[in-house]
Amino acid sequence: MQNDNSILSPRDLERMVNNRTSDPLLADILFLKFSSDIGTILNLGRRGSLYAPEAILKVVKNLACHNLLKWSDLEMSSIDAEKKDFKNSQNNLALEIQKTLSKQRRTQKFVYLGGGHDYIFPCIKALNQFTKKLVVINLDAHLDTRTDSAPNSGTPFRQIAEHFDGEIEIVQLGIHDFANSISTMSNLPKGKEVVATYEDVRFGTKDFHETEKFLKRVIPFQKDVMYVFSLDADVLDSGVMEGVSAVNHRGLPYDFVEDVLLYAIDELKCQHFGIFEYNPLYDNLSQKGARTIAALIYQIMDDRWFV
């Protein structure tokens, strides 16, 4: 039975949900969903991030819409395949992401919604087929460069550095020394890693007030480089983000994270955005965490940033 829009108020008709298209090829913004927490479980994290993509999009759908841009979403993960052979499933997923991206002609923004942070690896592996020069801007309390023998949500950036074919730079913002072991902080096999701890960011921005000057110094614009924005939700302060495996008692403020996102969009012309590790099971009743992430996604969907 079709919905009867005649009984809806004008306000109800002006929500994001009404700009969704079922055809991904017609989407200006495409969400690739990874509704699994197997990588997080393998990293001994708390279960529940598999529900994140739908929980986040549920909030996004109810936001007011001020443009005519179309968006769509696709589920990409396979829990059964990950349980059977996690490493092989990552490689197969990279191929599926690559095929999906290759088909898109209209889409200008891609949002990768996890799930665990392990999904940034197959995403970057897929993007490697389109560029040989890439910079990842990762906001995180953890480096996610663990030296574990088997891949999980704590290993993706070491995997990326090892397997990327070309020039790769990983810029890590918001890192805590107390959250990373000595082995995790060891040199990567290839590529360049720039680490700015929470303290580096705080003092470098004069208590988060001079963000743009700091970002232009740490992440200057480079021509012919693809930029990827990656957010691990646990980088945010616990005052706004409770729904994660490792709650951050000294995380970055929301405004700084949003400033980095807008810098990536406006100055770096970023088109690829990953948001990972939100766990709805540990959010509060007001869905504070989902609403915080939805606010960031709203900035990505703003037509001021489309060409």
Cβ atoms of residues 226 and 232 within 8 Å? no
Q: Is residue 226 part of a domain?
A: yes
5 pLDDT above the threshold of 60: no
Q: Is residue 307 part of a domain?
A: no
Distance of alpha carbon 127 from alpha carbon 72, whole angstroms: 20
Q: Is residue 151 part of a domain?
A: yes
Q: Is residue 194 part of a domain?
A: yes
**Mind listing the pLDDT tens digit for each residue in 64-92?**
998 989 999 999 999 999 999 999 999 99
pLDDT value, residue 1: 45
Q: Is residue 111 part of a domain?
A: yes
Number of domains in the chain: 1
What is the CATH number for 74?
Answer: 3.40.800.10
**Mind listing the pLDDT tens digit for each residue in 131-171?**
999 999 999 999 999 999 999 999 999 999 999 999 999 99
Average pLDDT over residues 24-29: 97
Distance of alpha carbon 182 from alpha carbon 55, whole angstroms: 35
**Mind listing the pLDDT tens digit for each residue in 165-189?**
999 999 999 999 999 999 999 999 9
- Predicted TM-score (pTM) of the model is 0.94
Local confidence band at 14 (pLDDT 50, 70, 90 cut-offs): confident
Q: Is residue 90 part of a domain?
A: yes
**Range of 200's domain?**
5-302
pLDDT value, residue 169: 98
Q: Is residue 27 part of a domain?
A: yes
pLDDT value, residue 10: 61
3 pLDDT above the threshold of 60: no
Q: Is residue 250 part of a domain?
A: yes
**Mind listing the pLDDT tens digit for each residue in 201-248?**
999 999 999 999 999 999 999 999 999 999 999 999 999 999 998 899
6 pLDDT above the threshold of 60: no
183 backbone dihedrals φ, ψ, rounded to 5°: -65, -40
Average pLDDT, the chain: 95
